[in-house]
Structure formats: structure tokens, C-alpha cells
Amino acid sequence: MSNPVIIAAKLNHKRSAFEKMVAEINEANERSQELLRAVDDATTEEELDTVEKSVEEIQAEITSKEEQKSVLEKEIADLEAALEESNDKAPDKNEELEGGQRKMKKGNEEVREGIKGYIRSKGQERAGFTSVEGGALIPEEILKTKEVPEDVVDLSTLVNVVPVTRGGGKYPLIKKSGSKMVSVAELAANPELAKPTITEVPFDIETFRGYIPVSQEVIEDADYDVAGMIAAEIADQELNTKNAEIAAVLKTATAKTVTGLDGIKGVFNKDIKKVYNVKAILSSSLYNTLDTMKDLDGRYLLQTDITVESGKKLFGKEVVVLDDDMIGAANGDLKGFIGDPKAAVTLFDRKRASVKWVDNDVYGQLLAGFVRFDVAKTDADAGFYITFTPTV
């Protein structure tokens, strides 16, 4: 008889994959509908060909995902039947009935123990957690439950994130035009609207990887949560890697030198179209410079606002602070991105972090981490990369 805990873990994994697949299908259908709505605005055969090609690619993607969805549905049904049969024969005390579905009381703890066993046994024990290509997959919920400093910034929450299932391809986008419809008389001919600009953003997934050395003595003698320590470190390095890649793309925005407060106000007030959701992503040195400035009425420019994640606003726009050498090049740089990061940057997410034993020629092992994604610029008009010069 199969272990109900293992079956439940497999079932949760399949359900998660199914939910993700449904979301990807819905997102692909939405992209297809957006392109089809743009057909009437195409004026040349070349534009129609571009739309047709993009729609065909999306439809092929949807067909493939629908087939994967059907397979997942069957696998879920089989696992549910197996779990019910297993529980009928030998009820598991670690499970309870909640909302009509069986859930493990100690899901994360069970998975952690599985990963610890995997580490201590050098990859031989794999019960209680899923595996990817022989490596232990660290579930997303475990990565995010580790304590992190409150001021850690996750730039992936600010940009457009698109889950992908392939190593490369093109992602069609319709650029914001800022145009509007016009009023016409009853039964009058429809006026021509502004033509949407459809661009295909290429992406090429890259693999980022590294290792954490673990001595054999630690593996054999440690009485603390080695798996938790490694999972937290890998999660932190994944965050730092994505932040660095996103910041690198933000720095490719149109360069602009601004002088004093009037220069920054000009960027907010007139240089960026109002269709964009503008934020200020600043170096800590630039933030500190602005934080000490006051307006003519003696009020500090940066205002506290608990409605935004960063807690600060500049001229009514959210402020996000990064290290000088991340959004700039060196300590002391007065640099920043002012614009709409979600419109400007897209992160194509391929695979979550995982750990895997790799041979080492010393008395120990290397626990390697992997993450696969790509970051691309999508809208060059969505913001500026500024260099600030204080007024004398």
C-alpha cells in the first residue's frame, strides 16, 4: 500500500501545476484576444501578417497547454482515488479533512524533514518531497516562510512577470498609445482610431547556478536544520540575482541628467505620459539627499505614506530604495529610475530554485542551486534613468 503522505504530497504538486497551467492558458487566451482586437486597426498586409503569425503561435501554445492540462486532470483523479483508498485502509493521523479536501497538518515540516533526509543520505532518501532531475525541489512556500529583513526589496514584484515553459521565444506586446476615442453623430461612419503598436519581445532563458559547500562533518554531526539554512540562503541568492538582472535592465532606460528639484519635477510632470504608473527607484545616496530636502514651506519632500509598500512617496509617487552599486555603479552614485517598471521590464520566469548533490574532490559535498529566467526591456518610453546633480 502506498504511503498516504507521499500520495498527498504528489497530489498537492499536481494540483499546483494544474492551477498554474490554467492561469497560463487564460493569460495566453487574453494575449490572443488583444491581438485579434487589433486586426481592425491594421492598414497594411504586413501588419496583418504580423498579427496572424503571433495569433497562430499563441494558439499552438494554448493547444499544447490544453493537452498538458488534460494529462494533469487524469493524474489528479488517479491520485485522489489512490489517496482515498489508502486512507480507507489505514487512516493517517497526520491528515485532517478541511473544506472537503485532505490536507497535511504538518505539510511544510514533512517536506523539510524530507529534504533533511535527502541531504544527510547524499540524495538517497527522497520521501516527503518532490524531485526535479534528481535534485530536491524547494517548495515556494518553504522559501518564503524564512525570516528576512523587513527592508529587503523584491524588484520582481514591481515588473511584469510572465511564466514560460520554453527556453526561448517571442512575447507580443501592445504598447500604450495614450490615445482616445472621439464622439460621433448617430449612424455616422466610425472614425479611425490610433493604430496600436505591436512589438514582439524576444526572450532567451538563462540558467543561473552556484553551490554552497557542506562538509561531511556537518552532514554527519549537525543537530540543527541544515536544509532550512541552505534553503534560506538559496532563496536569498535567487532574490539578489533577479534584483541585479532587473536593475541592469532599468539602467538601460533613456539616460537623463536632472539638476535640483525642478529637474526631478520635470520628469514626473511632463517627460513621462500619464498613462504610466510612475514610481521612483532610487539609489540610497540619492534617497538620502532628497530625504533631507524641504520645500519652500519647510516640509520634507519625502512624505510618509503607509498605503505604499516602501512607506515613502515623492511628489505623490512611490519611492523604492536600492543599494548605490545596484541601481548605480558605485557607492555615492546619485542615480535612479523614474517611470513605470511594470511597463518597462518583463521577467520571463522558467524554473524555481532547487538543490542537488554534486561530486566534490574534498571530504564534503557541494549543494548547488539553480534558477532559470530572463529579463528584457519592453517599453522604452516607460521611464528614464536619471543622474541627479544638486543645485549649488
Q: Output the pLDDT for position 324.
A: 93
Q: Output the pLDDT for position 326.
A: 94
Helix axis angle, 45-89 to 4-37, nearest 10°? 160
133 pLDDT above the threshold of 50? yes
What is the C-alpha to C-alpha distance for residues 132 and 348, in angstroms, rounded to an integer? 20
Q: Output the pLDDT for position 376.
A: 94
pTM of full prediction above 0.75: no
Q: Output the pLDDT for position 1.
A: 47
Helix, strand or coil for residue 154?
coil
Q: How confident is the model at residue 100 (pLDDT cuts 50, 70, 90)?
A: very low
Pairwise pLDDT comparison (247 vs 54), residue with the higher score? 247
Helix, strand or coil for residue 250?
helix
Helix, strand or coil for residue 97?
strand
Q: What is the pLDDT of residues 15-43, one digit of tens each?
A: 888 888 888 888 888 777 777 766 666 66
Pairwise pLDDT comparison (84 vs 146), residue with the higher score? 84
What is the C-alpha to C-alpha distance for residues 249 and 201, in angstroms, rounded to an integer? 14
Q: Output the pLDDT for position 96.
A: 44
**One-letter amino acid of 282:** L
The residue behind cell 532547487 is 354
Give me 61's grid cell.
501554445
250 pLDDT above the threshold of 50? yes
Q: What is the mean pLDDT of residues 169-191?
A: 72
Q: What is the pLDDT of residues 305-321, one digit of tens each?
A: 666 665 678 888 889 99
Q: Output the pLDDT for position 316.
A: 81
202 pLDDT above the threshold of 60? yes
Contact between 323 and 283 (Cβ < 8 Å): yes
The residue behind cell 472614425 is 191
